[in-house]
Amino acid sequence: MSPLDAPRTAAWSGKEVRSARDLAINGAPPMFSQPLHVGRPNIGSHERFLQYARDILERQWLSNNGPLAQQLEREIAQYLGVQHCIAMCNGTIALEIAIRALGLKGEVIVPSYTFVATAHALQWQEITPIFADIDPVTHNLDPDAVRRMITPRTTGILGVHLWGRAAPVEPLQAIADEHGLALMFDASHGFACSFGGRLIGGFGRCEAFSFHATKFFNSFEGGAVVTNDDALAEKMRLMRNFGFAGYDNVIYPGTNGKITEIAAAMGLTNLAQLDEFVAANRANYQTYSRELTDVPGLRLLAYDTRERNNFQYVVVEVDEQFPASRDRIVEVLHAENILARKYFWPGCHNMQPYRAYYPHAGLMLPNTIAVADRVVVLPTGSSMDSAHVRGVSQVLRALSRGSLAA
Ligand SMILES: Cc1ncc(COP(=O)(O)O)c(C=O)c1O
């Protein structure tokens, strides 16, 4: 079954919102009978996955660098055009292993406007994440802000390709070279996205992906580090497997970062259908774009049409012109069973332990704070179609008329 044939559980009620009385928040039935989630998984052919699963059971090789894990690594490396793919059990461990393999210590510069795992992967290893501000237009690290945060203790820069739009790769590389810092990327959002026509994966010393269920490309849970550096790749392979270089031969301190065969099976299944997932996401994005284009106070985050993107994130910025606050929008949508999300609010610097360690970090992060306060992410994915998107958009358009804002 193709993902586009998959059952659509979030049935649209067909409701029209004409007045405040039609809103679920005021007691009317919701727009959708089932919740419409942000990050609902993209799932490829069930039959292909089940065949992989049957093969795994027959082989009785469930983990420890099995044939499907190896195949997944080969196929990802080939797809991304990189020398090495080291598959992992999740994106957080992928980040942690990459950070350790690069020998980062002291302070590492990161955005605060990211999922907290980016900062935690450093803190977990007693490396201080130093939060630099973002560009309010791109939502990615601002190279000038990065420069301002460099101290004698800085050893690296950990950029994030937020929403699948590449971080400023070239200016960050120039800063890293000038100051002798290691540059790596958290590419968790960036699978199948390009920069300068090259797929994300080959930039910096290495890039870490998450294949979590909510990501564009998922393996239930999973992740990988990709790199063109042979020595770094070898180190990460050892680290991922307790430092084992062969039977009874431990030559390195390591952890357990291995991907299971069943996760690799899901990865291989989905890898074969990336184009379909992109097509479904792009169609949803285009419908949102049409539906919301003339709504004053709402701005849909644009993707660079010269680059490839996975369109996994439908990001809307709400400004003062809109008659309802961002938080009120989220509340109204949730009542309709549309589980829109405030993303990366309130910023890592406002989460623990960072908030306690650096209570004044916000002073250096005005753009992070402003963006985190105005972003709402709408549901998309291959289990949604244009009727769902129109249902979501209808609520937003109704809210924009002001009288329903309360
Ligand atoms: C930007 C970012 N970094 C890191 C992670 C952590 O990945 P995982 O959930 O696979 O550990 C995620 C997603 O969960 C993410 O969005």
Confidence band of 6 (pLDDT split at 50, 70, 90):
very low
pLDDT of 8: 52
pLDDT at residue 27 greater than cutoff 50 = yes
pLDDT of 383: 86
Reported as a single tens digit per residue, the pLDDT across 216-269 is 999 999 999 999 999 999 999 999 999 999 999 999 999 999 999 999 999 999
Contact 262, 53 (CB under 8 A): yes
Atom of ligand 1 lying closest to residue 215 CA: 13
Q: Give the separation between CA 267 and CA 123, rounded to whole angstroms.
A: 29
pLDDT at residue 271 greater than cutoff 70 = yes
pLDDT of 5: 41
pLDDT of 1: 38
Contact 34, 40 (CB under 8 A): no
Confidence band of 18 (pLDDT split at 50, 70, 90):
confident
pLDDT of 2: 44
Residues 6+ apart with CB under 8 A from 88: 94, 97, 222, 223, 224, 225, 240, 257, 258, 259
Average confidence (pLDDT) over 84-103: 98
Instruction: Please choose, from the candidates 236, 230, 169, the residue with its C-alpha nearest in 3D space to the C-alpha of residue 208.
Output: 236
Q: Is the CB of 96 under 6 A from ligand 1?
A: no
Q: Give the separation between CA 96 and CA 118, rounded to whole angstroms.
A: 9
Q: Is the CB of 186 under 6 A from ligand 1?
A: yes
Burial (Cβ within 10 Å: 0-12, 13-18, ≥19) of residue 347: buried
CB atoms inside a 10 Å sphere around CB 231: 9
Average confidence (pLDDT) over 334-357: 97
Query: Ligand 1 test: best mutation among 115, 218, 351, most atoms within 8 Å of CB?
Result: 115
57 token code pair: 């059971």
Average confidence (pLDDT) over 93-103: 98
Average confidence (pLDDT) over 48-63: 98
CA of 201 to the centre of ligand 1 (A): 16
- Our CA angle for 16, 20, 21, nearest 5°, is 75
Question: What backbone phi and psi angles, to 5 degrees, belong to 358?
Answer: -130, 70
CB atoms inside a 10 Å sphere around CB 262: 19
Contact 130, 154 (CB under 8 A): yes
Confidence band of 353 (pLDDT split at 50, 70, 90):
very high
- The protein residue whose alpha carbon is closest to atom 4 in ligand 1 is 117
Reported as a single tens digit per residue, the pLDDT across 161-192 is 999 999 999 999 999 999 999 999 999 999 99
Contact 390, 9 (CB under 8 A): no
| Mean pLDDT across the chain | 95
Q: Is the CB of 115 under 6 A from ligand 1?
A: yes
User: Comparing 15 with 112, which gets the higher pLDDT?
Assistant: 112
Contact 218, 101 (CB under 8 A): no
Q: Is the CB of 140 under 6 A from ligand 1?
A: no
Strands laid side by side in the 107-111 sheet:
84-88, 223-227, 206-210, 182-186, 154-160, 107-111, 128-132
Q: Give the separation between CA 292 and CA 309, rounded to whole angstroms.
A: 20
What DSSP element (H or E) covers 279?
Answer: helix 274-292
pLDDT at residue 402 greater than cutoff 90 = no
pLDDT at residue 405 greater than cutoff 60 = no
pLDDT of 64: 96
